[in-house]
Amino acid sequence: MQIPPMYNSVVTSPLYDCLRNPDHLPPSVINLDWSNDDVTVDPEVQIKYNLYTMHRQMIKQSKSPTEFFGNPYRAGDDITTLNGAGEIEQTPHNNVHSWTGTVVDPSNLINMGAFYSAARDPIFYAHHANVDRMWTIWLNQLKGNNFTDPDWLNAYFIFYNEEAKPVRVRIQDCLDTTKLGYTYEDVPILWLDASTRPQPRAKAKTLPSAPDPAQVFPTTLDKPINVIVQRPKKSGSGSSEEILVIEGIEYDKGNYVKFNVYINEDDVNASHPDNTEYLGSFSNLPHGHRMSYKTNKRFRISEVLEELGARDYDRVLVTLVPKSVNPVKINGVKIVFDS
Ligand SMILES: [Cu+2]
């Protein structure tokens, strides 16, 4: 879990890029949950945390293609009502970008650390091929369902072919990698193993008191926030899967933004990627331009509450912890049934 040697030689490798974080060159082990700060963790522990992070993101939180990939965004849609990016785009994808790029100042990361400059670093292509590989694993080993929405299948991009002529490539033509002439090497995938499933730090906790979301939001997330959130009551048919929704996250797309989300956790500093209480995070990789943006973030929590021994609780403690200095405003936190 280090930058491979072929990318590292200043003298001989055309894959070398000087604009990588100097603290993250080998033997530094990648932190798939990186929050723009380096905490000293034993490399063996870091590898273990990364496996837990992958298990959580690929298996626990990504049960549908939209959870993996992100929600549809069609021309004319009101972006403020969308449920936003997919789990995998945020973690590990965004974190690998920001971990690899150089930190110029706390809010500006290049090359890999920002959208506009990421592809200047040759390692970008390996990173994105690996996201493609993860999608293949999710579809095949994890038996995920592919999208069937015609808007998605018929969407296209224009590329140049080997004769420098523009050609239209539809998504439906790219679904089977064997037709594109490649497959990924069949290697052991350690995070598929049940031993990498995050475990509760403590079960059936007595929850500390905290305000109701209506008393706190909307607010700027500039310090950790605790709220006690009411769970919905089941009535009639429909999904009983509960989703924690962080509503109306407002930020500037030009900024690096990250915050972590915990459930029924009374000590966030003791909670790590190997703990069930750590649900995951929201992140934004900086774009090259300013644009105010508003989106939502969803987390699956039914299995999590079961594992925490909190299935029968009618309320849960939700904690948001900012991991970046750039302004981010939150409009609400609620729990709904999946629809
Ligand atoms: Cu990327």
Give per-residue pLDDT as tens, 95-135.
Answer: 999 999 987 665 566 899 998 899 999 999 999 999 999 99
Distance CA 274, CA 259 (A): 18
Percentage with pLDDT > 90 across the chain = 72
Ligand 1 center–CA 93 separation, angstroms: 6
Residue 147, H or E segment? none
**pLDDT per position as a tens digit, 20-38:** 999 999 999 999 999 888 7
Check residue 330 and give its pLDDT: 97
Distance CA 50, CA 1 (A): 9
Q: Distance between the two ends of the chain, CA-based, in angstroms?
A: 37
Ligand 1 center–CA 114 separation, angstroms: 9
Ligand 1 center–CA 104 separation, angstroms: 19
Check residue 106 and give its pLDDT: 59
- The topology under which CATH files domain 5-196 is di-copper center containing domain from catechol oxidase (1.10.1280)
Following CA atoms 243, 248, 250, 253 in sequence, which dihedral angle do they give, to the nearest 10 degrees? 60
What value does the mean pLDDT take over residues 142-167?
94
Ligand 1 center–CA 181 separation, angstroms: 23
Ligand 1 center–CA 230 separation, angstroms: 36
What value does the mean pLDDT take over residues 226-253?
91
Ligand 1 center–CA 32 separation, angstroms: 14
Ligand 1 center–CA 200 separation, angstroms: 31
**pLDDT per position as a tens digit, 283-321:** 999 888 888 889 999 999 999 999 999 999 999 999 999
80 has a pLDDT exceeding 80 = no
> Are 280 and 298 contacting, i.e. CB atoms less than 8 angstroms apart?
no
Where is mean pLDDT largest: 90-104, 171-185, 219-233, 238-252? Answer: 219-233
Ligand 1 center–CA 245 separation, angstroms: 24
What value does the mean pLDDT take over residues 239-255?
92
> Are 173 and 282 contacting, i.e. CB atoms less than 8 angstroms apart?
no
When computed from its CA atoms, the radius of gyration of the chain, rounded to whole angstroms, is: 20
Ligand 1 center–CA 128 separation, angstroms: 6
Check residue 237 and give its pLDDT: 78
CATH number attached to the domain at 213-337: 2.60.120
Distance CA 25, CA 162 (A): 35
235 has a pLDDT exceeding 90 = no
Check residue 40 and give its pLDDT: 84
Q: Is 213 helix (H, G, I), strand (E, B) or coil?
A: helix
Check residue 109 and give its pLDDT: 65
- Residue 54: pLDDT band by 50, 70, 90 thresholds? very high
Ligand 1 center–CA 211 separation, angstroms: 38
Ligand 1 center–CA 274 separation, angstroms: 25
**Residue 84 — left, alpha, or beta (φ > 0 → left; ψ -120 to 50 → alpha)?**
left
6 has a pLDDT exceeding 70 = yes
Tokens of 13: 């490798």
Check residue 182 and give its pLDDT: 93
Ligand 1 center–CA 205 separation, angstroms: 38
Ligand 1 center–CA 68 separation, angstroms: 14
Q: Is 159 helix (H, G, I), strand (E, B) or coil?
A: strand
- Residue 9: pLDDT band by 50, 70, 90 thresholds? confident
Q: Is 105 helix (H, G, I), strand (E, B) or coil?
A: strand
Q: Delimit the domains of the chain by residue range.
A: 5-196, 213-337
